Structure 1
C-alpha cells in the first residue's frame, strides 16, 4: 500500500455501507463521525440517509481531502463537515469534537503499527460519548495460519 491507499474503495467500505443501509432508520438524525474515511463511501451514504456527518482523515495525502470535497459536492450534501484527524493524536480537533452518536471505521486496521493509535482514538471518542456506537468493517489481506 502506498500513501494514496485512501483513494480506493476497499471491500470493507462497501460492507459497512450495506450495514448502514440496513440501519437507515437508526442513522437518520444522528451525528456520525467516520475515521480514516478515505473516499468516504460509508459517511457519504450516512449523510444521504439523513445523518449529520463528520468525515475525518489524516492530511498525509492532499488528494484525500480534495476527493472528499469533490464527493460531497457531487452528492449535493450540506450536512457534512470535514475534520483533520490523525489517529492517536489528541489535538483540538478531537478534544473539541461535537457529541457523536456513531463512529464509523472501514478498513482502519490495515497496518498493525497503527492498531494502538486507532483503538486509542476510538476509545477516547466512546469514553466521551457514552451512548455512542462503533461500527467497523475490516478486510483481512493476509493468509492466516493456525498452529496447534
Structure 2
C-alpha cells in the first residue's frame, strides 16, 4: 500500500487532497501518512465542501484520543506484549501500529471503511511493522486478549459497545474525549492527557482532554 493509493481514496472526497508523512504531536515518534493541510490554499468550493461533509475521510486525520492511546501503549508495552490485540474503529491505524511496535503477537486493525484499512496497512509499513486487517467487528478473531478503541462513543447509540468489548476480550483499553461519564463502572480511569487532532481541526477545547480507561473482560 502506497501514499499514492491513499491519495486516490482522498480525492474521492476532495479533488485536490493528498497525504503527507508527518508525526502527530501526541505520539511524536510515530510517523503516519495523514492529510496534507497545505493543499487548502483558499476556501473550499461548494462542491468540495459538500463532498467532504457527505463522505469524510476520517482515516486521514489522527484524532486526539488515537494519539494518546497509541503513546500510552508505547509507554506501557506490557499491556500488549505477546498478546492478540484488536483495535476497533482503527481509522489511520495509529493504535494498531503502536500495538505492533510495542510487541503484540498479533495486532489487528478493524474498520468498516476500506480506505481506513488501506491507511492502516500503509502506516504499518511506514513504521516497519505488520498489522492484520479486519473489515467487520463480526469477522473478528475469537481469541482476543485485548480490545482497544479511541473516540468510538461519539454517538450515544454506541454505548453498548462497552459491554460488547468486555465480552470479546480479556481486557479493554479505551480512550475517549467526548463522554465524561461512560455509565459503566467496570471501566477504571487510568489517566487524563491533553492532545489535539493532527492536523489540527481547531475543535472545542473540551475535546482535547483525553481520558484512558481499562476494563476487565472475558465474560
Taking structure 1 as the reference length, the TM-score comes to 0.73
Larger RCO, structures 1/2 (Cα 8 Å, 6+ apart): 1
Match of 1:75 in 2: 127
CA 1:63–1:128 in 2, change beyond 3 Å: closer, same or farther?
closer
CA–CA distance in structure 2, aligned partners of residues 16 and 128 of structure 1 = 19
Q: What's 1:110 paired with?
A: 154
How far, CA to CA, are the matches of 2:65 and 2:59 in structure 1? 13
- Report 1:48-59 matches (<5 A): 48-51=101-104, 52-59=106-113
* C-alpha distance 111-26 of structure 1, shift in aligned 2 (>3 A): closer
Once the two structures are superposed, the pairs formed by residues 1-148 of structure 1 within 5 Å of their partners are 2-51=55-104, 52-59=106-113, 62-78=114-130, 80-85=131-136, 91=138, 93-94=139-140, 97-113=141-157, 115-116=158-159, 119-120=160-161, 122-129=162-169, 132-140=170-178
More strand by share: 2
Runs of 4+, deviation exceeding 4 Å: 141-144
| TM-score, normalisation: structure 2 | 0.52
Give the unaligned 5+ runs of structure 1.
none
Q: Is there any run of 5+ residues in structure 2 with no aligned partner, and where?
A: 1-52, 179-202, 207-219
Shift of 1:14: 1.4
Structure exhibiting the larger radius of gyration computed from Cα positions = 2
| Aligned CA distance change for structure 1 residues 139 and 128 (closer, same or farther; 3 Å) | closer
Please say if residues 56 and 84 of structure 1, whose CA atoms lie closer than 8 Å, have aligned partners that are also in contact: yes
SS in 2 for 1:101: strand
Higher helix proportion: 1
The alignment covers a number of residue pairs equal to 128
Coordinate RMSD, CA, aligned:
2.3
Shift of the alpha carbon at 1:142?
6.5
Question: Structure 1 pair 77/111, CA: closer, same or farther in 2 (3 Å)?
Answer: same
Deviation at 1:103, TM superposition (A): 0.5
